[in-house]
Structure 1
Amino acid sequence: MIKNKDIMIKVGAFPIVKENTIFKEAIEKMSEFNLGILCIVDNKFELRGIITDGDLRRMLLNIQKPFSAFFVDDIIKHSKKNPITSFPDEDIKKTLIKMNLSKVWDIPIIENHKLVGLVHLHPAIKNLVSKI
């Protein structure tokens, strides 16, 4: 059985910012990686929220204040709180089912309340296909 921990992207290889990071810096961090997600953590490295590329597009189309004011907001104000998560020892098939049902490409992996990784759809499928 393949588990999330066998194929997850490790911390440091996907974008993570603290909850008091301003929006502009968060977008810059997100752009450093080739993924459509940004994880937001507190000082204990507990996941506080996420932002996806799609969230950014929708926000930019709907903001009701000047861009300059928007870009200095703390990122946590605009994040999805309580995102779908999984655990390192969960079967990757269960995680992929969650992803499919929720129509998401990424699921943060949590252990002892701390962010430890990220399952991204494409590497997960690539890994599973290589085992066939």
Structure 2
Amino acid sequence: MTEAATFLATARRVIEIEAEALRRLAGALGESFSAAIGLILAARGRVVVSGMGKSGHVGRKIAATLASTGTPAQFVHPAEASHGDLGMITEGDVLLVLSNSGETPELSDIIAHSRRFSIPLIGVASRAGSTLLRQADVAITLPPAEEACGTGIVPTTSTTMTLALGDALAVALMEHRHFTPEHFRTFHPGGKLGARLLRVADLMHGAEALPLVGRDTPMGEALVVMSQKGFGVVGVTDAGGRLVGIVTDGDLRRHMAGLLERRAGEVMTRDPKTIAPDQVAERALAIMREKRITCLFVTDRAGDGRALGILNIHDCLRAGVV
């Protein structure tokens, strides 16, 4: 076997071991998981996650996932807790403490603090009779599973199970609270995820920027409006102010002969493609790419069809919508 083949074989073995452990975890979940959800929902404060070493790294991710999906959460390092950070944990909170062995000595002060002030404690560990799970109000025991390292000493499978358990808690809470993409955008306005959830209304140019003319507007005047507004198009409205057409560069070329003797209603393309302000900007970009256009008028489809704004493809690209 070549060295490259050996690497691949090792990688596949690790992933298969951890995948099997996750299947065991899914089958092992029961009343304690539901009880943990109940404690979190009943808490007036935050979910305070804590763990030492690799469990601590996993705990930070769990706290971040909870916080971004509608469950206020923070991570408190157990060593720092013993030197003043216990003050971050209040009686309205609920503790989620992670430890593979359940005997991590650095957790003793946090556990004692939770018992002293009757702070609900959810313990997650692999040993049912461990100190952590004996002291916990809700004990979640990870099922027996071998570590993927082969020696049994490097936290691999155990941390994968703990991470998946944290995701399961977060998603169960999220679904119970009917957490929507709009809620998620509130907590995650930056980066690719935030860009994907931007609404058309967030990016469109408002009414003052709209290039609009009436049906009977001479094309000479329409061209001036098109040039002044800088979008390369002009919308055409009827007597009631509803958007009924659009004049683009293509329309100008098709009506080049005698263009200045015509009116906007004669040159326009009828029933232009539009989008509603509450649509995600990603959808608007997809339409512009599909139709090979650079602008979309934004209209209130539930209203009277008036133009509310205009969106340019470059507005989407600058915002990171791709």
Same fold at TM > 0.5 = yes
Per-residue deviation at 1:73? 1.9
Deviations 1:62-119 (A, max 9, x none): x3xxx3xx41322111100011110000011111111111100011111111110111
1:12-91 to structure 2, matched below 5 A, reads 12-60=208-256, 63=257, 67=258, 70-91=259-280
- From 260, 270, 287, the equivalent of 1:98 is 287
Q: Which is strand-richer, 1 or 2? A: 1
Per-residue deviation at 1:9? 1.0
With the length of structure 1 as denominator, give the TM-score of the two structures. Answer: 0.85
Paired letter, 1:102: K
Paired letter, 2:253: R
> What 5-or-longer segments of structure 1 have no aligned partner?
none
Q: How far apart, in 1, do the equivalents of 2:202 and 2:209 lie? A: 15
> What 5-or-longer segments of structure 2 have no aligned partner?
1-196
For the pair 1:9 / 2:198, whether they are aligned, the reply is no
Per-residue deviation at 1:54? 3.0
**Secondary structure at 1:71 match in 2:** helix
Q: Number of aligned pairs?
A: 123
Paired letter, 2:292: K
Partner of 2:316: 124
Farther-moved stretch of structure 1 (96-105 vs 71-80): 71-80
Q: How far apart, in 1, do the equivalents of 2:227 and 2:219 lie? A: 12
Please list every run of at least 4 consecutive aligned residues from structure 1 whose deviation after the TM superposition is greater than 4 angstroms: none
Paired letter, 2:203: I
Per-residue deviation at 1:58? 3.4
**Secondary structure at 1:45 match in 2:** coil
Paired letter, 2:235: C
Per-residue deviation at 1:46? 0.8
Partner of 2:6: none
Q: How far apart, in 2, do the equivalents of 1:45 and 1:7 lie? A: 23
**Secondary structure at 2:293 match in 1:** coil
Paired letter, 1:24: G
Q: How far apart, in 2, do the equivalents of 1:124 and 1:59 lie? A: 31
Percent identity between the two aligned chains: 25
**Secondary structure at 1:32 match in 2:** helix
CA spacing shift, 1:73–1:58, aligned 2, 3 Å: closer
**Secondary structure at 2:270 match in 1:** coil
